[in-house]
Structure 1
């Protein structure tokens, strides 16, 4: 995995989580700009998926390969799931779902990096 990409994903996840948490506190529903934030996160996660697959095909594999692949697959599914859930929940809790997904993404990306570093480094 690429360190700067993981750091970028964590920073964007924090920004989206804080932004949508503010919308939750203000009792606002999820809006199109929130979807744009999730779309940016999804794009970054897909790039990370592609980079990870390329590195793995090149011979660099983590020790816990199955766990790594499971985390990698899960992390890509979270932003679309949060978008659907947030859109269906038209109250203040729609943005709260997105804020929670941002926190979950931070934990999963850090864990992915930890698994990768333990197996490679």
Structure 2
């Protein structure tokens, strides 16, 4: 895991959540810039996933490998799933779905760090 990338993902996710919450309070549906934002966030998550997978293949093992892989898969699958759901929901609740997902991602990233390096938790 790359700690700097983890922090970047957390900050980007919280910024995206704030942006989507502003759209919810303004009663605006999800628009293309929201999709671009979640797409950029997803690319950051994919980068972390690739780095983590390469480290796993090269022999670095967290204490609970299965739990780590499950969290990693969840982190990578949440943004596209919520983007589709948010885009289909053409009311103000579309951005709310994205905001909710973006509030969950930093917590999942902390959990990934804890499972990768058990001495942190």
Q: Normalising to structure 2: TM-score of the pair?
A: 0.96
User: Which structure 1 residue ranges, 4+ long, deviate > 4 Å from structure 2?
Assistant: none
Between the aligned partners of 2:112 and 2:23, the Cα distance in structure 1 is: 29
Query: Could you say which residue in structure 2 is the equivalent of 1:7?
Result: 7
Q: Over aligned residues, Cα RMSD in angstroms?
A: 1.2
Between the aligned partners of 1:32 and 1:113, the Cα distance in structure 2 is: 32
Query: Could you say which residue in structure 2 is the equivalent of 1:86?
Result: 86
Between the aligned partners of 2:93 and 2:114, the Cα distance in structure 1 is: 32
Tell me the number of residue pairs that the alignment of Structure 1 and Structure 2 aligns: 120
Query: Could you say which residue in structure 2 is the equivalent of 1:112?
Result: 112
Query: Could you say which residue in structure 2 is the equivalent of 1:71?
Result: 71
Between the aligned partners of 1:43 and 1:3, the Cα distance in structure 2 is: 16
Gaps of 5+ in 2: none
Between the aligned partners of 2:49 and 2:36, the Cα distance in structure 1 is: 20
Secondary structure of the 2:28 match is: coil
Gaps of 5+ in 1: none
Q: Normalising to structure 1: TM-score of the pair?
A: 0.96
Between the aligned partners of 1:109 and 1:80, the Cα distance in structure 2 is: 17
Between the aligned partners of 2:72 and 2:31, the Cα distance in structure 1 is: 28
